[in-house]
Structures are given as C-alpha cells and as structure tokens.
Amino acid sequence: EAAQKGGYPHFMLKEIHEQPEVFRKTIRPRLNNGLPDFSQESIPDDIFRECTHIQVIACGTAMYAGMVGRAIMEKELRIPVTVSIASEFRYDTPLMDQHTLVIVVSQSGETIDTLAALRLAKECGCKVLSIVNVKGSSIARESDYVLYTHAGPEIAVASTKAYMVQLAVLYLITARMALVRKKDSEEAVRAFITSLEKAPDMIEQIMALDETIRKQAEKLAFAHDAFYIGRGMDYAFSLEGALKLKEISYIHAEAYAAGELKHGTIALIEPGVPVIALATQDKIFAKTISNIREVKARDAYVILITKEGADVSDDVYDIHLEIPIEDDRFTVFPCAVILQLLAYYTAYAKGYDMDKPRNLAKSVTVE
Ligand code: G6P
C-alpha cells in the first residue's frame, strides 16, 4: 500500500496532487485546433443543439460538480439548467421530455440512486449523456453517450481529483454547446478553452499555499462548527468545501449563500467560529464583503479567499488567501484545491484516517 501511495502519507493527498495531470489528460484528447471536439466519442451535436433544458442528476460530490456546471452553463449558454439529487429525482414526477438533455455525473458509475434516476430519465424519452470515471460501469453502459473523465482510480473515499475532472468535462460541454448553438463566436470559445487549459498550472501554483493552509487547518481542528459562505458561483464551490470537511474531519460544516445569513444562520455566529468566505466573483464582490463584515463584527474567525489583488481592507479577515487568476469563470479550480487541502490537513491534525472515514463508502450500490 505504501508503494501505491507514491510517497504520500495518504491516498487523498496523493490524489489532490494528481489533479493537474488528470485535468490535462481529460481535456487534451477533446481539443482540436483549440476548440472542444467530441467526435472521437461519437457524440452528435444535435443533442446540444436541440435541447431546451438541461437536467443534471448526481449524488454527493458529483452533484456539487453539477451545481458549478449549472452556474457556468446558464451564464454562458442562457439555457435553463436544473440540478437534482438522484435519490430525490428517482421518486419525483419529473418535468422533462425529449427536449431535455440529461447529464448524469458519477465517479464510480455504480451509485444505485443515480442509476435509477438515469433509467427514469430514459423512460421519459430523454437522451442521457453521462460523465463517468470508471470504464464500462453500469451508468456508462446504460447511457446513450459517455464522456469519460480520466482521473484514474480514486482510492480515498472523499472525492478530489474526480470532482476536478467532472468540472473540466462540464466546462468542455459548455464550450461545445456555445459553439454548436452559436452562443459565442469561435474566437470567444477559443479564449474560453485557453483559460480552461491554464487551470492545471493554476492548481500547481496554489499548492504553494500548502504550509499556510496546514497552519489554518491546525486551528480549524479545534472547531465544532464551520461555515462556508459565498454567493453565485462561490456558493456552488463552498457546498463542496463544506462536504469535504464534514466527511473526513467530522466537524459540522455548512455552506450558506452569504446573502441568506441574515435569515437565520447569523444567529449561530459567535466569537471564534471559523467562517471560510469565498469572494471571487466581481459582480457580487462588494455584497459578499459586506456579508463577511457582518460575521466579522460578531468576532468570527474569517479565512477569506479572493482573486489576487482584490481590494479588501484587513479588518474583514483573519487570514487572506489569494488565487492567481483574473477570469471569474475559472476560480473554482484553485478554490477547490484550497478547500480540499484545508479539509485534509484538518483531518490530519485530528489524527483521523481520512482515506477511510467512518460510516462512508466510496461507492453506494445499495439504496
Ligand atoms: C459516495 C462517495 C462520494 C461520492 C458519492 C457519489 O457518497 O463517498 O465521494 O461523491 O458517493 O458517487 P459517484 O461514484 O456516483 O460519483
């Protein structure tokens, strides 16, 4: 097992570090002359051209990847996207038909709720495109079309690299759809892809914050509760950040849309409570900072994540982590790594085996 860990103390840390490589492996074969191209996997453009609605279905981390997917798709494509939890969806009476493109996301391809939801979608007459990591898995076999993620085997129960490449594929689909639906010029799509291709380098750069994050995690290890706040896309990333922390450190962690704090959660903020605040979106930056001020005024311990050079005064945070990026649409990639490392080092400080957290399974094949 030590050999398999490749010198890392845990699979989870190894898998976090593999992200730049698996990201490149996942996107490169799908680029042709700087544009997204799924002709190798025989995915017809008609499914992208003709749909009027996108329905994403998944569980856990894969569902949170879907939430980021929704944010980027609605922004770029101006098409309604719904994200559903598979265990809910399978017992719903879904509102969809042959004009709905269903995107199923699953690392293992064996999650029973996701598989049941896929079958229901097919009964409704929808075409199903799945984003799956495990070749030949049930979900891959039963889907009309598959875009495999190339994360390689993910051993740690808490998903890291699989999430990263699910995002990469959702971004590629967005770009392909923008092209096919003529939402954007070829030049704009090319620029989008150029930014996407920079993500692995960004992830590598962010690893340099390792020591700073580890120190913060040592403090977080003493917390009973932690709050993750953000708005817009930042809210979608914070959901996954909070999930990572609860899964492996057993700290109660909740993600809240920062503007919603005042409707309840602010009551839980007391001196010293850690708040991981994401403010990477220009459009709502000032609003998010004013939400952060509200928790800071109640003496929360604020770990703030912004883009490099963001204009913030030092009285709104305790520690400020900056990500080297300009384009708001791509901030999820470095943010995900920060949140993964924060969860990893917190579990490490608590002495837990984060590769095999209690009560959780890598793949849930029973209902
Ligand atoms: C389990 C795993 C999670 C995963 C979820 C969905 O809960 O512990 O890490 O996100 O299942 O799994 P899937 O294989 O469908 O992505």
CA of 308 to the centre of ligand 1 (A): 32
**Which one, of 182, 171, 169, lies nearest residue 49 by Cα?**
182
Question: What ligand 1 atom has the least distance to the C-alpha of 134?
Answer: 14
Rounded to the nearest angstrom, the distance between the alpha carbon of 160 and the centre of ligand 1 is 11
Task: Identify the burial level of 49 via C-beta atoms within 10 angstroms of its C-beta, where 0-12 means exposed, 13-18 middle and 19 or more buried.
Answer: exposed
Ligand 1 pocket test: pick from 106, 111, 167 the residue with the most ligand atoms within 8 Å of its Cβ: 111
- Residue 15, amino acid: E
Per-residue pLDDT at 116 exceeds 90 = yes
Atom of ligand 1 nearest to the CA of 60: 10
Q: What is the pLDDT of residues 136-185, one digit of tens each?
A: 999 999 999 999 999 999 999 999 999 999 999 999 999 999 999 999 99
Q: Is the pLDDT of residue 293 over 80?
A: yes
User: What does DSSP assign to residue 224?
Assistant: S
How close is the Cα of 149 to the center of ligand 1, in Å?
Answer: 15
> Using one digit for the tens of pLDDT, what is the confidence trace for 253-263?
999 999 999 99
Nearest-atom number in ligand 1 for the CA of 63 is 10
- Burial, 33: exposed, middle or buried (Cβ in 10 Å; 0-12, 13-18, 19+)? exposed
Query: Could you give the CA distance from residue 77 to residue 179 in angstroms, rounded to a whole number?
Result: 10
Q: Please, what sign has the CA dihedral across residues 234, 240, 242, 248?
A: negative
- Which of helix, strand or coil describes residue 109? coil
Q: What is the structure's pLDDT at 316?
A: 97
**Beta bridge partner(s), residue 230:** 257
Q: What is the pLDDT of residues 263-275, one digit of tens each?
A: 988 989 999 999 9
pLDDT at 43 > cutoff 90 = yes
- Ligand 1 centre distance from Cα of residue 88 (Å): 15
Is residue 2 pLDDT above 90, yes or no?
A: no
pLDDT range class, residue 97, cuts 50, 70, 90: confident
Active site residue 75: no
Quote the CA–CA distance of 77 and 152 in Å, as a whole number: 30
pLDDT score of 367: 87
In 3D, which of 202, 261, 251 has the Cα closest to residue 231?
A: 261
Per-residue pLDDT reduced to its tens digit, 68-89: 999 999 999 999 999 999 999 9
Q: Count CB neighbours of 363 within 10 A.
A: 14
CA distance 249 to 12: 13
Residue 312, pLDDT score: 96
Which ranges in 59-160 belong to alpha helices (H)?
Answer: 60-77, 86-89, 112-123, 138-142
pLDDT tens per residue, range 8-42: 999 999 999 999 999 999 999 999 999 999 999 99
| pLDDT at position 366 | 85
Q: Is the pLDDT of residue 3 over 80?
A: no
Strands 274-279 and 301-307: parallel
pLDDT, mean of residues 220-226: 97
- Ligand 1 centre distance from Cα of residue 355 (Å): 14
**Global model pTM greater than 0.95:** yes
Ligand 1 atom at minimum distance from 158 CA: 9
pLDDT(122) > 80: yes
Distance 347 CA to ligand 1 centre (A): 19
Say whether pLDDT at 61 is over 80.
yes
Looking at every residue in the chain, the average pLDDT score rounds to 96
Of 107, 143, 366, which is best to mutate to test ligand 1, by the most ligand atoms within 8 angstroms of its C-beta?
107
> Which residues fall within 8 angstroms of residue 54, CB to CB, at 6 or more apart?
70, 73, 79, 80, 81, 82, 100, 101, 102, 103
In ligand 1, the atom with minimum distance to the C-alpha of 361 is 8
| Contact assessment for residue 167 and residue 332, using Cβ atoms and an 8 Å cutoff | yes
Ligand 1: which residue has its CA nearest to atom 7?
60
138-143 long-range contacts, CB within 8 A, separation 24+: 138/109, 138/110, 139/104, 139/106, 139/109, 139/110, 139/111, 139/114, 139/115, 140/109, 142/115, 142/118, 143/104, 143/118
Pocket of ligand 1 (CB under 6 A): 59-62, 106-108, 111, 114, 157-159, 360, 362-364
For atom 2 of ligand 1, the residue with the nearest CA is 362
Read off the tokens for 344.
């990893």
Active-site position among 5, 122, 183, 362: 362
> Which of 59, 112, 131, when mutated, tests ligand 1's pocket best, judged by the most ligand atoms within 8 Å of its CB?
59
